[in-house]
Amino acid sequence: MIMRSLLIFILLLFVTNNSFAMPADGCGAGSCADCHSITLEETEQLLGSMVDKVNRVEFAEVPGMWVAEVEKGQKKLPVYIDFSKQYLFTGNVLRLNDKKNLTRQRSARMNKVDVSSIPLQDALLLGKSSAKTKVIVFTDPECPYCKKLHTELKEVVRREPDIAFLIKLFPLKMHPNAYGTSKSIICNNSMELLEVSFAGKPVPPASCDTQAVDQTLALVGELGIRSTPTLVLTDGLVVPGYKKAEALLALIGENIAQLSKP
């Protein structure tokens, strides 16, 4: 009986103390902006010479932090500052409920490319030329992940005829035959030859002296594209890596919806 009374007393004390510690009109009852703020100028002072420029600062999705979009050299990247303004965090922030990499998503939005700077005369068309949405794909004819993605691209086009893909050949140095194969595919403007290469079969030597491959190699360096496969969506968002058709449709659909917002 005495033990039970003691437990009730401790419980009541805990509830009472918490009610005083978290008043309805106190910090934490409203939004973070009620108690915490930081300006662009203050962020620049805090980061100092660690960055070249601060373009934006706002509340991060992670509670208790701001996220600053900064530039350092040729790179644009997000960094995180805690509410005490004493700690700086860099690196990947993952949301546990859906495993999304929030840092990578924001970094991709910050580093969109100018789609109009990408020549498309040498691109292979997968899908209808009348498709409203065209996505650029940088691919290597000897890249196994490009081969897997190519199958998914064809499935996307089958399911959604209003989406088409413009395939640019980007041979990686790690695949010694890819450069010559890319030139041959471009000379012949042949999707069939690309699929022959994906099948592991030899492709005949180039029948012309195209400079398109060299121009693409120079371009990807300027755009910061370093791997294949890499997609460039209609608004310039760069999306590297292999994805299944369902994920591609969702990604492109979300991008189209963002573009249609006023």
Q: Which among 92, 161, 170 has a CA at the least distance from the CA of 127?
A: 161
Residue 253 has pLDDT above 70, yes or no: yes
Tens-digit pLDDT profile for residues 116-174: 999 999 999 999 999 999 999 999 999 999 999 999 999 999 999 999 999 999 999 99
Q: Can you spell out the DSSP letters for 197-256?
A: HHTT---PPPSS---HHHHHHHHHHHHT--SSSEEE-TT--EEES---HHHHHHHHHHHH
Res 11: pLDDT: 37
Using CA atoms, how far apart are residues 148 and 127, in angstroms rounded to an integer?
17
32-110: which CATH number, 3.30.70, 3.40.50, 3.10.450, 3.90.1690? 3.10.450
Class of domain 115-260: alpha beta
Tens-digit pLDDT profile for residues 27-63: 445 567 778 999 999 999 999 999 999 999 999 988 9
Task: Sketch the domain layout of the chain as residue ranges.
Answer: 32-110, 115-260
Written as six digits, the tokens of 56 are 């934006």
